[in-house]
Structure 1
Amino acid sequence: MSTIDEDRWPAIADVPDHARARRRARKVESEFALACEKAGLRLEGEDPDLRVFEEALFYRLADVGWLGLGESFMAGEWTSPRLAMVLERLLRAGYNPKTPVRTGVRYDGSVAPLELHRLSGGDSTNTYATLFSSGVPTMQRETLSQTARTKHTPPLSIEVTTLSDPTVVERDDLTEAQSRATQALLDVANVGTGAYVLDLPAQTPALTLAALARHATVDALASDPDVLASLEQVAQIADGALEVVPTLTPLPDPGAFRRRFDACVSVDSAESMDPRSLQHFFKVVEQALVPGGRLALQTLVAHEPSKSVAGCTELIRAYVTPAFHLHDRDDILHLMLKSQGMKATDVLHFGGHYVEGLRLERERFEGHEREAAALGFDAVYRRLWIYQLALKEALILAELADAIIIGASAHRARL
C-alpha cells in the first residue's frame, strides 16, 4: 500500500473502514469463498488459481462489490496467474456482489493512451479488434423484432454472419490479425479509391492509415490531444488526403461538416457511449453521409441485459471510460431504425477472434511491464490495464458479451 500514490489513486490507497464495511466483511468473505468453490477455483495449495494477500479485499467487496474486487487487484491485495479464467468462472457461477453502478454519465471522448496500445499490440496505430486467418463463416437472414418505438416502420431483415473460433493462434499472428480486422471494417464500408471517409471518432490512427492506403480521402475527428497529435503526424505525409478535425465536444452537431462522405467508420467507440450519446452519433452519421453512403461500426455488445455485466464493468467506468456501456446488439439496430435515415444491412459476429486478440494483447503487455513503468505507468495503472483486458476476455468467454461489426446504409437524402 505504501507504493500507491494517494493523490492519483485515492480510492485505491484508502481501504474502506467504515462501520458497514466492517460489519459485512466476514459475510462477504464467506460468499466469495463459496462462489470460488462453486466456480471450481482453488485458493490454496502449490498452484492456486488466485491468491489473496490482504483481507482488505473483503472490505472493498463489502463496500462496492465488483468495483472493490477490481480495485483490490489494482492495489495488489490479490493476484492470479489465470486472471481471465478466474473472472470468467466467477461470472459463470453467477457471482454478483452488490455493486453501486453509476448511471447518467455522458460520453466524454476519452481514449486509452496510445502507448498502451503499442505495448499491448506491437503497433501504436492498432485497436483491440482481431480477425485471424482461420475460422468458418456461417450466414443466415434474421428479421429484427419490432418495439413500441419502431412498430410503424417496416420489419428489418439483416444478413448475420457468425465467424467460428480460430483454430490455431500464435503470438506472431497478433499484428496481422489486427490489420485484418481493420481491413474488414473498411470492406464493410465499401472504402476504395477516391472515397471520402469520415473516421468518427478516431481512437487511434489505424483506420485513417488503412483508408489512406486504399487511396481514400479522410476526415478524422477527435478530441483527445494524443490522438490528434498522432493524426497530425500522419497528415504531414498524406499529401492533402487527410484532414484532422479537432473538436471541443466528444461528438459534433449533426450537419456540422462542410462536405458529405461516402463512408463513415467507427471502432472501439460505441461501447464507450451511453445510449443518448450513441443515438446522437447516429444522427451525426445520418447527416454526414451521402444517400447510399455506408457506415461500418465495430463494437462490443452484451448478449442480453445483465446486472452482473453492469456491476463487473463498473471498474472500467470508474478508471478507463466513464460512460462505458455494453449495448444489446438489437438495441443498437433499433436506434438506427429510429433515426429513419440509417438502415442496417449486415452484422458480423466474431467474438471468438476478438477474445483471442485480447489474450495475446494482455500477455504481451505483461511481458512489457518494465517498459510501461519507464513510460510513467505506475504499478496500479499497469494492473488496471491488465485487469480490464482480462475482464473483457472473461465477458466474452462467459458468453455475456460478443464482438460485432455492423454495416448500414444511409437511405435518404439529408433534409
Structure 2
Amino acid sequence: MTSGLATPLSVDHWTDISPIRRGPRARISTAIARRIFFRVAERLGVSVSLGDTPEPGAEPADLRLILPEEFFARVGNDGLIGFGEAYMTGAWEADDLGEVLTVLCREIGDLVPMWMQRLRAVYVSRPPRRQRGSSRNTRKNIAHHYDLSNDLFQLFLDPTMSYSAAMFPADSITGGDGNRTLLAPPVPGSDLAEAQGRKIESILDAAGVTAGSRVLEIGTGWGELAIRAARRGATVRSVTLSSEQQSLARARFADAVEAEGLRADLVQVDLLDYRAVEVPPGSPGFDAVVSVEMIEAVGYAYLPSYFATIDKVLAPGGKVAIQAITMPHERMLATRRTWTWIHKYIFPGGFLPSTEQLDEVTRKHTSLRLAGRTTFGSHYAETLRQWDTAFVAAHQEVLDLGFDETFRRLWHFYLEYSRAGFASGYIDVQQLTFTRGPDAEPSPDVEPSPDVEPVETR
C-alpha cells in the first residue's frame, strides 16, 4: 500500500495548488472527509481501493486512492477544489474518470450531510474580487484560458475549431410551453465537425442571418461562425478579448477569402470588450446579435449590462441568438458565490446562469423577450467525450508543446468533469432566441457597482 504525503508528480512550481495543511483542525477535517467519502462511495456503489497495486484476484476498483492521506487531507481542507487538486497531483486515479464523476454529479446536492450544507456559507471559498467580470478584469480572465496556445486547442478540436457544444442529428420534442424544443440524445461517435456546423447554422437561422444582414458576434472563438455568416452574404463584426483567437480567426477568414472568393470586407474581428461596442455611424444597428457560450464569462452582477449593450445596438426588428450553458435556478442561487475548482484553474470569473435568471434580467433591464429555446445537454456530453478522447490520444504532443504531466491531468479532469455535468443533467446547454417586446423600449446603459448584485428570483 502506498501512503504518505509525497506526490508522484513534480508539482512544486504549481503554486496555485493548495499546500497540505497540518495541525489539530486539519486532522479533524481530514477524519471527517474520510468518513463522509467512504459513506458516499458505498451509497453510490463506487468501489474504492487503497494503493496503486490491487489485491491478487480482486476486481479493479472504480476509484483508486494512490495516496490516501493526501487525498483526504486535500478534500477535508478544500472540498471539491481539493478533490480536483488531488487528481492533479496523482493522489487518486480512475480508469473511467468520466463515469465516476458522472455518478458523483448525479448526487452532487447530497454528497455532504445536511448539517454541513447548512454551514456552507462558513466553509466554502468565495470568488476573489480580482476575477469579477468588470471591464478591468475580464481581459485577464479570458486570457487565462483562451490564450494558452492555439496549438493546444488544435490538438483536440475538430477542423472547424469550434469550442462549444455540437448539435448532432437527433429527434426533437416540442415542450409543453410551445417555445422550448428538446433534442434527444445523439448517437455516440457521430461526426463532430458536421455536428459543429449544424450547431452554427442553427444559431444563424435562429438569428435570421441572411444576405445583407449586419451581424454582431460577441465572442469570436476561432472564427467559424463569422466565416459561415459571411458565406450567407452577411457583414459581421466579431469582438473578442483573446488575442490568440483574434489572430487565428483573422487568418482563417483570410484563407476563406482566398479559397472561396468571399469579399474581404465581410468580416471584421476586433479585440474589444462587449461593453465598448457601438452602433456603426449612419446605421440603425445590427440586424442580428449572436453569441456562442460567451455569456458564461459575463458574471452574475454584469448580466444587466451585457443584455443592455445588446439591446442598445440591436436594430428595430432585429433578433438575438445566444448559446448558453445553464443550470437549474435553485442550484444557481445556492452556488453563485462559490469559488470552485473550475474557477480556480479553468474559467476565472465564470458563472452559469439559469433560464429563469436570463428571462428576468432581460425583462427588468431591456426590451428583449425570450421567444424560444432549444436544449441539448446530452449533445455537450458527447462533444466533450470526443474532445477528451482526442486530447488523451495527443498525450505526447501536449508535452511537446511545453505543458507538463500535471497540466495534462488537469485538462483531462476538466474535460471529464464537464462531461459528467452534462451527462448527469446537473447542467445543460441551450440556444435561446430573444426578440423585442411589442411595446418595449430599449433601456439605458446599465453598469452595476462591483459591490452590488441585481435582484434575484426566489
AA aligned to 1:339 is H
* Partner in structure 2 of residue 192 of structure 1: 210
Report the secondary structure of 1:12's partner residue. coil
Report the alpha carbon displacement of residue 103 of structure 1 after superposing the two structures with TM. Answer: 6.4
Report the alpha carbon displacement of residue 310 of structure 1 after superposing the two structures with TM. Answer: 6.0
Report the alpha carbon displacement of residue 342 of structure 1 after superposing the two structures with TM. Answer: 1.0
Match of 1:78 among 89, 92, 98: 92
AA aligned to 1:134 is A
Q: Root-mean-square deviation (CA), in Å?
A: 2.5
Report the alpha carbon displacement of residue 46 of structure 1 after superposing the two structures with TM. Answer: 3.2
In 2, the alpha carbon distance for the partners of 1:118 and 1:344 equals: 35
Go from structure 1 to structure 2 and tell me whether the alpha carbon gap of 1:117 and 1:210 turns closer, same or farther (over 3 Å shift).
farther
In 2, the alpha carbon distance for the partners of 1:106 and 1:15 equals: 27
Q: How does 1:37-186 map to 2 (within 5 A)?
A: 37-44=42-49, 45-54=58-67, 55-93=69-107, 94-96=110-112, 99-102=124-127, 105-107=131-133, 108-109=138-139, 110=142, 111-112=145-146, 113=148, 114-123=150-159, 125-141=161-177, 159-166=179-186, 168-170=187-189, 173-186=191-204
Match of 1:21 among 19, 26, 30: 26
* Partner in structure 2 of residue 282 of structure 1: 307
CA contact (8 A) 2:8 2:89 kept: no
CA contact (8 A) 1:57 1:69 kept: yes
Report the more deviating stretch, 103-112 or 60-69.
Answer: 103-112
* Partner in structure 1 of residue 120 of structure 2: none
CA contact (8 A) 1:130 1:357 kept: yes
* Partner in structure 2 of residue 252 of structure 1: 275
When normalised by structure 2's length, the TM-score is: 0.79
In 1, the alpha carbon distance for the partners of 2:435 and 2:406 equals: 43
Report the alpha carbon displacement of residue 70 of structure 1 after superposing the two structures with TM. Answer: 0.6
Deviations, residues 249-301 of structure 1 (Å, cap 9, x unaligned): x4324646545211111112112221122221101111111011111111111
Report the alpha carbon displacement of residue 356 of structure 1 after superposing the two structures with TM. Answer: 1.3
Report the more deviating stretch, 126-135 or 234-243.
Answer: 234-243
Go from structure 1 to structure 2 and tell me whether the alpha carbon gap of 1:173 and 1:391 turns closer, same or farther (over 3 Å shift).
same
Report the more deviating stretch, 390-399 or 291-300.
Answer: 390-399
Go from structure 1 to structure 2 and tell me whether the alpha carbon gap of 1:118 and 1:391 turns closer, same or farther (over 3 Å shift).
same
Aligned length: 394
In 1, the alpha carbon distance for the partners of 2:63 and 2:24 equals: 28
AA aligned to 2:106 is R
In 1, the alpha carbon distance for the partners of 2:176 and 2:36 equals: 43
Report the more deviating stretch, 61-70 or 111-120.
Answer: 111-120
Match of 1:356 among 382, 386, 394: 382
Go from structure 1 to structure 2 and tell me whether the alpha carbon gap of 1:222 and 1:183 turns closer, same or farther (over 3 Å shift).
same
CA contact (8 A) 1:6 1:13 kept: no
CA contact (8 A) 2:64 2:93 kept: yes
In 2, the alpha carbon distance for the partners of 1:338 and 1:4 equals: 51
Gaps of 5+ in 2: 1-6, 50-57, 117-122, 258-262, 445-458
In 2, the alpha carbon distance for the partners of 1:284 and 1:322 equals: 22
Deviations, residues 69-123 of structure 1 (Å, cap 9, x unaligned): 0111111211112222212222333214853242654222414344443222223
Q: How does 1:258-277 map to 2 (within 5 A)?
A: 258=281, 259=283, 260-277=285-302
Go from structure 1 to structure 2 and tell me whether the alpha carbon gap of 1:183 and 1:53 turns closer, same or farther (over 3 Å shift).
same
CA contact (8 A) 2:47 2:61 kept: yes
In 2, the alpha carbon distance for the partners of 1:367 and 1:263 equals: 39
Report the more deviating stretch, 344-353 or 266-275.
Answer: 266-275
Go from structure 1 to structure 2 and tell me whether the alpha carbon gap of 1:173 and 1:254 turns closer, same or farther (over 3 Å shift).
closer
- Provide the identity percentage: 25
* Partner in structure 1 of residue 323 of structure 2: 298
Go from structure 1 to structure 2 and tell me whether the alpha carbon gap of 1:70 and 1:48 turns closer, same or farther (over 3 Å shift).
same
Go from structure 1 to structure 2 and tell me whether the alpha carbon gap of 1:117 and 1:181 turns closer, same or farther (over 3 Å shift).
farther
* Partner in structure 1 of residue 448 of structure 2: none
In 1, the alpha carbon distance for the partners of 2:274 and 2:61 equals: 46
* Partner in structure 2 of residue 339 of structure 1: 365
Report the alpha carbon displacement of residue 198 of structure 1 after superposing the two structures with TM. Answer: 0.8
Report the alpha carbon displacement of residue 372 of structure 1 after superposing the two structures with TM. Answer: 1.4
* Partner in structure 2 of residue 373 of structure 1: 399
Report the more deviating stretch, 303-312 or 332-341.
Answer: 303-312
1:222 aligns with 2:240: yes
Report the more deviating stretch, 200-209 or 315-324.
Answer: 200-209
Report the alpha carbon displacement of residue 4 of structure 1 after superposing the two structures with TM. Answer: 3.2
Report the more deviating stretch, 199-208 or 278-287.
Answer: 199-208
AA aligned to 2:314 is L
CA contact (8 A) 2:220 2:269 kept: no
In 2, the alpha carbon distance for the partners of 1:67 and 1:218 equals: 40
Go from structure 1 to structure 2 and tell me whether the alpha carbon gap of 1:253 and 1:410 turns closer, same or farther (over 3 Å shift).
farther
AA aligned to 2:16 is A
Report the alpha carbon displacement of residue 221 of structure 1 after superposing the two structures with TM. Answer: 0.6
CA contact (8 A) 2:300 2:336 kept: no
Report the alpha carbon displacement of residue 26 of structure 1 after superposing the two structures with TM. Answer: 2.1
